[in-house]
Amino acid sequence: MPILEITPELLEQIHRYGEAAYPDEGAGLLLGKVDGNLKQVSAILALPNAREAADRHNRYLLTAQDYLKGEQEAARLGVDVLGIFHSHPDHPNRPSDFDREWAMPWFSYLITSVQAGEATESRVWRLTNDRSHFIEEELRWSEHTSVS
């Protein structure tokens, strides 16, 4: 089973970002290293939601420039882009059909449910290679400190 390992501090930063973006979706990139089925998150890159204002409450958009910025930051830190984190305001932390349509099979998708402005729980998903559905990855705490 694929595993995404993250420090409690980084997950807390993701939760705070989702709360700050509420009632809109907030998003960013997960940066770190891969070791077999284990993805170790060592940094995050919070990014603005580039979706039109009227649709930000249930959609996020990361632009090509955002991905370039993420790749450059990952290279600077000596790591890789592992996936995307985003929030679901007043919605469960499961991928939507829209998420499936736009997802990439290798990326991990950490989704945080933000209920009435408060982050409640995060889960991690990966799109299958045939793009038909998501499988849940294990979310595990890391003892490693994050990269600055």
CATH code where residue 95 lies: 3.40.140.10
In tens, the pLDDT along 103-114 reads 999 999 999 999
Q: Structural domain tally of the chain?
A: 1
pLDDT value, residue 148: 44
Residue 17 lies in a domain: yes
**Hey, what long-range contacts does 7-13 have (CB within 8 A, 24 or more apart)?**
7/41, 7/141, 7/142, 7/143, 7/144, 7/145, 7/146, 8/141, 9/146, 10/41, 10/43, 10/44, 10/146, 11/122, 13/44, 13/46
Give the tokens for residue 124.
């991690």
Is 146 within the bounds of a domain?
A: no
Does 109 fall in a domain? yes
Please give the backbone phi and psi of residue 46, each rounded to the nearest 5 degrees, phi first.
-75, 140
The model's pLDDT over 38-93, given as tens digits with 9 standing for 90+, comes to: 999 999 999 999 999 999 999 999 999 999 999 999 999 999 999 999 999 999 99
The reported pLDDT for the residue numbered 144 is 63
143 pLDDT more than 80: no
Query: Is 148 part of a structural domain of the chain?
Result: no
Segments forming the whole domain that contains residue 58: 3-141
